[in-house]
Amino acid sequence: MAARSVCVLGGSGFVGTHLAAALAREGWQVTVPTRNPAAAGHIAMIPSLTLVAADVHDPGQLGPLCAGRTAVVNLVGILNERGRDGRGFRRAHTELARKLVDACRSQRVDRLIQVSALGADAERGPSHYLRSKGRAERLIREESGPDLRWTIFQPSVIFGPGDDFVNRFAGLLRALPVLPLARPRARFAPVWVGDVVTAIMRALADDATAGETYELCGPEVLTLRDIVAMVRGRLRLRRAIVGIPDFAARLQAAVFDFVPGKPFSTDNYRSLTVDSVCRSNGFARLGIRPQPLSALLPKYLS
């Protein structure tokens, strides 16, 4: 049997780190391109994984990365851009998806896994983030052709060791005596990173998932205030969580647009105006029983 090989774009990030380890355990030969191999040292020791210094946005480099692969997984995503006009989101999400489809087709790769986002909508998404993710999905569906079999995943917010969601609020709670919270009633169905990885592995192993889109949600629907309060309780901190009205949240976001690192942005605020909850149970379709945030948070947050 020929060795199975996969190129994982975004493979040194939060989800990618967990996925690369799982793929290696299952005997896959894993290639992870990165512009900064030194910063990806945490995955360098994974057996059967190769780090390649490359810019995936360069079609001249992306094609050879895809050549000879059994499959390609695209995990690339940004939550904020340097500017405010959407160009950064379009480059990272939509334009990369177009280049990736072209590379897969030219190199005769027949399997593509795209990790998108719940609420992605090419036309009606309220934020650059959600529209660019939706346009990437539409492009993959419409331009892959019959020889490139795709599967799209739309997860709610993903949590786990090393995440940028639970851990960000943990850091804020440790630093601030009062946490002003925008959109406190926004609803999420937090999904465990291990369950997302399992879903991707199932798709790679099951041809019946080709041409399908799966919404991925954890079993608990929680407001943003619920989640932050849960984190506060786990950390045993006495902190006030103060929900702020939308006009104040918009002002807060506009100010943070110009703060280095953008801890919160106008685009983030707009994304929060859409609840991140599932309309269909993608995990059930895949035969996976997802795990709740309340049960797993104590195991990795301290």
What is the tens place of the pLDDT at every residue in 277-300? 999 999 999 999 999 999 999 999
Calculate the dihedral angle through the C-alpha atoms of 72, 73, 76, 79, rounding to the nearest 10 degrees.
160
Instruction: Using DSSP, state whether 110 is helix, strand or coil.
Output: coil
Q: Which residues of 175-213 are buried (b: 16+ CB within 10 A; e: fewer)?
A: eeeebbbbbbebbbbbbbbbbbbbbbbbbbeeeebeebb
Instruction: Name the band, by pLDDT with cuts 50, 70 and 90, for residue 1.
Output: very low
Look at the alpha carbons of 277, 160, 284, 74 in this order and tell me if their dihedral is positive or negative.
positive
Instruction: Using DSSP, state whether 217 is helix, strand or coil.
Output: coil
Residue 48 above 90 pLDDT?
A: yes
Average pLDDT value for the chain = 97
Instruction: Name the band, by pLDDT with cuts 50, 70 and 90, for residue 95.
Output: very high
Instruction: Name the band, by pLDDT with cuts 50, 70 and 90, for residue 2.
Output: low
Calculate the dihedral angle through the C-alpha atoms of 36, 38, 43, 48, rounding to the nearest 10 degrees.
80
- Strand 5-9 and strand 71-74: pairing? parallel
- Angstrom distance (rounded) from CA 79 to CA 23: 26
- Strand 71-74 and strand 158-159: pairing? unpaired
What is the tens place of the pLDDT at every residue in 153-209? 999 999 999 999 999 999 999 999 999 999 999 999 999 999 999 999 999 999 999
- Angstrom distance (rounded) from CA 119 to CA 274: 7
Domains for the chain: give ranges and CATH numbers. Answer: 5-158+192-217+277-290 (3.40.50.720)
What is the tens place of the pLDDT at every residue in 218-240? 999 999 999 999 999 999 999 99
Give the pLDDT confidence score for residue 261 in this predicted structure: 87
Beta bridge partners of 294: none
Instruction: Using DSSP, state whether 243 is helix, strand or coil.
Output: strand
Give the pLDDT confidence score for residue 3 in this predicted structure: 77
Percent of the chain with pLDDT over 70: 99
Query: Number of C-alpha atoms within 13 angstroms, CB side, residue 134?
Result: 15
